[in-house]
A and B are shown apart, each in its own frame.
Chain A
């Protein structure tokens, strides 16, 4: 399994956790294209927080290193790394690479 696949798996597990709390019409699809933030997103801001915190915990468990899923652009619809599952996956992959190189 590649690093990207492991990160995606961690995100999808977080999506599963949050979907359990959501009504069926608002559940999220487990796809890189799924929008987490913005008008096209189905999440309330607290649900986004829940996904990110759960993802952080899952990634820490999967990779055995502490990471911090925080970013000053968190709620900026235009530039947020949390806009889609794909962008979140890229953001976390960068964090892990920074960890391993430094």
Chain B
């Protein structure tokens, strides 16, 4: 791999994002990450920004920093996401707004700014994180699954709008992975979800990495606007 390649990953403090950083740093990428709070790890080829992904001015500053430091962006992984399982009758409006802001608005802003930078080199790979909760229409996940449905539609439309700039936009929908995101979901509910999958097990971060590796390959320039769900959903 060209060691000068630059990858931006959102939501890197813990969970899938942290594991993605470790993987792609080891692959030789210059990795830039962000989260609301600082991370408790460091790598020579990792740079961290603390920000809210839905805050336009902060996002612009991050991309300005990437432009100044590296002058390019090759891959963007929109991993930052929040979710809170709840029945609609008990869900506060503020919760819905927070979920939409982080999951959809954040992804929108990073795609927009990322594409501007990628366009300059006529090459880019954007991968958005969605969820199997969307196609499975999981009860209790109305706000979370809807926000990710918006991400899927965004992915499909940006796939068209950005194709002529050499930028592909795809999405991956993981099954439950043992991270903080699913900590608050009752275990029996997770068990039932896993039983409904074709491949009945928890997802692993390596399953996610496998699909991302495929999407970001230079040879994948004919694949855009697609969503791959894990577990056979």
Residues of A that sit less than 8 Å from B by CB: 46, 53, 56-57, 60, 65-68
Take A60-B67, A66-B61 as given contacts and tell me if A53 and B116 are in contact as well, using a CB distance cutoff of 8 Å: yes
Q: How far is the CB of A92 from chain B (nearest CB, A)?
A: 14
The answer for the CA separation of A57 and B118 in the assembled complex, in Å, is: 12
Contact flags B167-190 to A (C-beta < 8 A → 1, else 0) = 000000000000000000000000
Take A53-B116, A57-B120 as given contacts and tell me if A68 and B56 are in contact as well, using a CB distance cutoff of 8 Å: yes
Contact flags B47-75 to A (C-beta < 8 A → 1, else 0) = 00000000010001101100100000000
The answer for the CA separation of A65 and B119 in the assembled complex, in Å, is: 20
Q: Taking the complex as formed, is B195 at the interface, i.e. its CB lies under 8 A from any CB of chain A?
A: no
Residues of B that sit less than 8 Å from A by CB: 56, 60-61, 63-64, 67, 116, 119-120, 164
By a CB distance below 8 angstroms, the chain A residues around B61 are: 66
Task: Judge whether A66 and B119 touch: CB under 8 Å.
Answer: no
Take A66-B64, A68-B56 as given contacts and tell me if A56 and B164 are in contact as well, using a CB distance cutoff of 8 Å: no
The answer for the CA separation of A31 and B114 in the assembled complex, in Å, is: 31
Task: Judge whether B119 and A68 touch: CB under 8 Å.
Answer: no
Which of A57, A65, A68 has the most chain B CB within a 10 Å cutoff? A68
The answer for the CA separation of A60 and B61 in the assembled complex, in Å, is: 11
